[in-house]
Amino acid sequence: MSKNNVLDMIVEIPKGSSNKYEVDAKTGRIILDRVLYGANFYPGEYGMVENTLDWDGDPLDVISLCTYPTMPGVQVSVRILGSIKMIDAGEIDTKLFGVFNDDPRFSSYEKLEDVPQHLRDEIENFFLQYKALQKKSVKINGWGTLEEAIEELHECKERFAEYKDRLEAGERDLILAEWKEKGIGQG
């Protein structure tokens, strides 16, 4: 990271897509996890931060405003502005939120308040709705400030370092079960 709120996102899903692609942790291949059940599409570029671990057992998610969609697998420099405090199926599943750092159209966006309210509403509404036809519950506990987002990033980096060996040993599901039993990382 050049500045402490600029990070590298690996794009999994380009803006406008209804295909939910994920980078496979083992092979690095881009896998089609599913096609969204409803007529929904990602309202921003969606991806993850490498070498992080969130409470859902996956790398920390990022959604970023962009002008033109890129492609799955592309590394993009994202300037983080805040976060969306999402709970997915009872697990904490925060999304960092930002803008493409190298798109001059977003050069004046430095904090959450610089983003037009409607764009934020649209993103929030997308996450509240995108699993509706799967009958899965998603909750959003509001937006986090830039400081909270940076804190989240550091926590997810530390968690990855702590569990790296076990993840490599294929214990992801076991780790999730342990967290659930202890009641940590649940929303």
Give the annotated binding-site residues for Mg(2+). Answer: 56, 61, 93
Q: Are 148 and 81 in contact (CB under 8 A)?
A: no
Nearer to Mg ion, 49 or 146 (CB): 49
Q: Is 93 an interacting residue with respect to Mg ion (CB under 5 A)? A: yes
Output the smallest distance, CB 121 to Mg ion, in A.
21
Nearer to Mg ion, 81 or 93 (CB): 93
Q: Is 61 an interacting residue with respect to Mg ion (CB under 5 A)? A: yes
DSSP-assigned beta bridge partners for residue 77: 8
Sole binder of Mg ion in the list 20, 41, 50, 58 (CB under 5 A): 58
Output the smallest distance, CB 95 to Mg ion, in A.
8
Stretch that binds Mg ion, among 1-9, 53-61, 123-131, 161-169 (CB under 5 A): 53-61
Element holding 168 (H helix, E strand): helix 146-168
Q: Which residues are annotated as a binding site for substrate?
A: 20, 34, 46, 130
> CA–CA separation, 187 vs 92, rounded Å?
5
> CA–CA separation, 14 vs 71, rounded Å?
6
Q: What residue type is assigned to position 112 of the chain?
A: L
Residues in CB range of 18: below 8 A, 6 or more apart? 35, 36, 39, 40, 41, 42
Residue ranges that bind Mg ion, judged by CB under 5 A: 56, 58, 61, 93
